[in-house]
A and B are shown apart, each in its own frame.
Chain A
Amino acid sequence: MSETTHESVQAPSPSTPPAADPLQLARELILAPGGLAEPELERALGTLLGHAVDGGDLYFQLSRSESWIFEDGRVKEGSHHVEQGVGVRAIAGERTGFAYSDEIVLPALLEASRAARAIARSGGAGRVQVWQARGGHDLYRPIDPLETLGVEDKVRLLERVDAEARRQDPRVSEVIVTLAGVHEVVLVAASDGTLAADVRPLVRLNVTVIVEDKGRREQGTAGGGGRFGYGWFLEQDRALGFAREAVRQALVSLEAGEAPAGEMTVVLGPGWPGVLLHEAVGHGLEGDFNRKGTSAFTGRIGERVASPLCTVVDDGTLPGRRGSLGIDDEGTPTRRTVLIEDGILRGYMQDRLNARLMGMAPTGNGRRESYAHQPMPRMTNTFMLAGPHDPEEIIRSVDRGLYAVNFGGGQVDITSGKFVFSASEAYLIEGGRITRPVKGATLIGSGPEVLARVSMVGSDLRLDEGVGTCGKDGQSVPVGVGQPTLRVDGLTVGGTQA
């Protein structure tokens, strides 16, 4: 399938020392400083378990992050952030007790374990299953991305991106460039014997520009990133490409007229517009909502929910991708889960709790923002597979409609299925041709209905550049989206031109 051509993101330098074992690294970095090792983890889990507790887990996290902001032609600010702690969870049936501590030492760990156990009556001592250490993976390397570029080189990169944006057009009045990196090490120890660790690098570069022309001002923004070192930005002209892209978007907006209002045919460009799938079907297929029966997709496995052209997957195993994970935050290896196959609803995304309660298998989608948050079913990289149509043929097929290629965020009401996503770059299609740019507008539709209206699917699957963040119940996690060019026969476009 053609989507693989865009999944070939590789770590920048091929000649690196052999990857350290993440578990060994996590032991050294997280457990050892506080005098912890497996016996102490067993003791904490033993405290957690009682005869009314089905299971529990400990989630240790150590993260170090930095960000550099370049503005007004200089590094305006740099910052550094350290976060560490352990989250303790006890599960009894459908109940969860949860506590956490930012001190990774035995007394704090035992106190958190006792608090989490409040979910069930205090009972006898439980026993932890024999440890089963989980091996590594090759989706990304266990590197510290903050150390992959010297500070001078980071500053030089920011300067070059700024200069590239400014040299595109004299109408560029402001340029803000942000470079950010996270080095995160996690270790999961669960009462079923799961002992797994992961080292998760994550970097991101964003460019925002303001352009000004005859009193009209517009903004453009572009960026990218993933699970590798900063070197990725230096390859293939990527960083400077983001600068040019931000300026291009802003200049298009300067020419944009009023957006149309009402229901019409919409052609969505490839890549980031896949936020459609994330909102329209992704959230509604997360296991917790379906177990509770609050999703518009509840009980619909095996039913047709999309046109036969649509196959949608969630795949946490794409190398280097922002939404990818070797293991999820419960220690389950990630995988590729088919959500919709040829239009038929096939599966949900599960964490362990919801999988167990629904009698299904965990899918490696148990994710959490940090040790101070409970895991829940979350997406990784969610996208639609390529279809048979030439993208240009799709445009030519539309007599009057909207062609939307860039989006801001979206949102969904899981229960009613209504979802929105906001176009930031869109054009009118008139007589099969893209004619003129129109202002951004919010598109609204119904999740269980919209994919049934997909009448053409392009052959040009693309994944986004790697800047997506998904929020649910106040927790943010990095995700990816993607899709080929799609024709949707009827979406409500929220412009001003009635």
Chain B
Amino acid sequence: MEETTTHTAPAVDLRAERARCERLVALALEAARAGGADAAEASASVDRGLSVTVRLGEVETIEFHRDQGIGIAVYVGRRKASASTADLREASVRAAVEAALAIARHTGEDACAGLADPDRLARDWPELDLHHPWGLDAEGAIALARACEDAARAVDRRIENSEGATVTTHDGTTVYGNTHGFLGGYETSRHSVSCAVVAREGEAMERDYWWTVARDPAELEPAEAVGRRAGERAARRLGGRKLATRECPVAFAAEVATGLIGHFLGAIRGGRLYRRASFLLDRLGEAVFPAWMAIREDPHIPKALGSAPFDAEGVATRARDLVSDGVLRGYVLDTYSACRLGMETTGNAGGVHNVLVAPSLEGGLESLLAEMGEGLLVTELMGHGVNYVTGDYSRGAAGYWVEGGRIAYPVHEITIAGNLARMFRDIVAVADDVDRRGRVRTGAILVGRMTVAGD
């Protein structure tokens, strides 16, 4: 029984908010200069949103979000300090600048501390079509969440319980400016539908979930499809067994393969490289993957979740090869780490943009499993057992044992282990079932051999 009155997130005029953010950034930069900073940079943002969860057909939560903040970095000579506040009143912004200036008296000279090179700042930038407000009210969100969860519960009679379906919609504005005269901002949106349900058989319970996320609500998967997928995944896990300890090929389903590529990106991040804390240290120009592999970064894909016209230092972003012919072609650097390495920024202050792994195989996961023949398909990974210094990898896993290229039975309570440097070289195929729900876009990945620990 629903008697929820229609409510949308508190109205926020994002154009006005962007103008306010621009004023505050300018104010912060001016205050920093007036207070003795030789250079300064600031970033302000305002975000609003709505999140609704329906569980077992009933509304569980309605949340209205409104987040804002400003972050300021000051450079006094080559000393850096920063401050941030979630309070955007002018006096609070000034207080934050003063706090940063006070800290800068105590930090050490660092020859690499400073703003991005003015030549690298974005002058004009492409319209990336990143802002598509949904205009969804609480009632509409409830209806979608309910449709999603209903579909999940209808999949199988063993779907007995639910953690609910959640619909979220967010949009906001971000502005960055620095004392080289850069001032830029843009609006983005992000909407999602997700569902998690529990399947039961006897004493055993298994939970699984599915979700869709997009900047444009028109690009979301239908809510019912998300629900069905969640229900199928949960039911399919029932009857899981442990495996005997062995070595075998391991296929990473697309939704976990993104994490594997994420480990590669983590290992070529400037911060790890200049601290000599990466297993891919000094490997630029060398073969890191098999010769057929290619990984590109493209920050300018319209509507994509990882798209950005400029990075968190105002540096123009551009498409480039991270890996071609299996050879490592570029690192992930911001101005500071690039300086420490004697290199140039790659426009990755704030992280990577869209990273695309080229598929090697048509026919989706099915043909990848056919290629594998016998081995482990991993659909879920647990824990943080990744050592970036050595590349040693050991994580909890669940998924399916595959025989004759087909799923034979679900498996759980096992670990997979190896060394990332060897795992990357040992990649056999990348499927074309590309997961587009994050910054890393890849299909399922087959690794030739890993240690699986079980009984």
Contact = CB atoms under 8 A, between A and B. Distances in A.
Contacts, number: 274
A149 B382 CA distance: 40
Given A409-B383, A411-B382, A492 B61 contact: no
Nearest to B81: A78
Given A81-B83, A118-B62, A119-B4, A442 B390 contact: no
A452 B105 CA distance: 57
Nearest to A65: B84
Contacts of A418: 382, 396, 398, 412-413
Given A98-B61, A217-B276, A496-B417, 15 more contacts: A74-B107, A78-B81, A80-B82, A80-B103, A94-B58, A99-B10, A119-B61, A122-B5, A261-B451, A296-B205, A372-B65, A409-B384, A418-B412, A442-B415, A443-B415
Interface of B: 3-5, 7, 10, 55, 58-68, 80-88, 92, 95-96, 99-100, 102-110, 138, 161, 163, 198, 204-207, 237, 240, 242, 245-247, 275-277, 281, 380, 382-385, 387, 389-390, 392, 394-396, 398, 412-419, 451-455
B109 A74 contact: yes
A441 B385 contact: yes
A422 B246 CA distance: 20
A444 B60 contact: no
A7 interface: no
A71 B92 CA distance: 30
24 contacts: A76-B108, A81-B85, A85-B86, A95-B58, A95-B59, A95-B61, A99-B10, A118-B4, A122-B5, A151-B102, A151-B106, A173-B276, A174-B275, A219-B277, A261-B453, A293-B198, A374-B63, A411-B396, A413-B380, A418-B398, A421-B383, A446-B413, A492-B413, A493-B453
B415 to A, nearest CB: 3
Interface residues of A, number: 87
A420 B385 contact: yes
Given A218-B389, A492-B453, A496-B418, A176 B275 contact: yes
A152 B453 contact: no
B78 to A, nearest CB: 10
Nearest to B199: A415
Interface in A126-154: 151-152, 154
A111 B415 contact: no
Given A98-B63, A217-B276, A409-B384, A420 B454 contact: no
Interface in A44-91: 52, 66, 71-85
Given A100-B66, A261-B245, A294-B207, A81 B415 contact: no
B169 to A, nearest CB: 15
Contact of B390 (A85, A217, A492): A217
A358 to B, nearest CB: 16
Given A84-B86, A416-B205, A498 B389 contact: no
A414 B161 CA distance: 13
A415 B83 contact: no
A121 B5 contact: yes
A292 interface: yes
A223 interface: no
Contacts of A165: none
A422 B4 CA distance: 45
B246 A498 contact: yes
Nearest to B95: A82
Contacts of B103: 66, 78-80, 151
Contacts of A421: 383
A247 to B, nearest CB: 15
A494 B106 contact: no
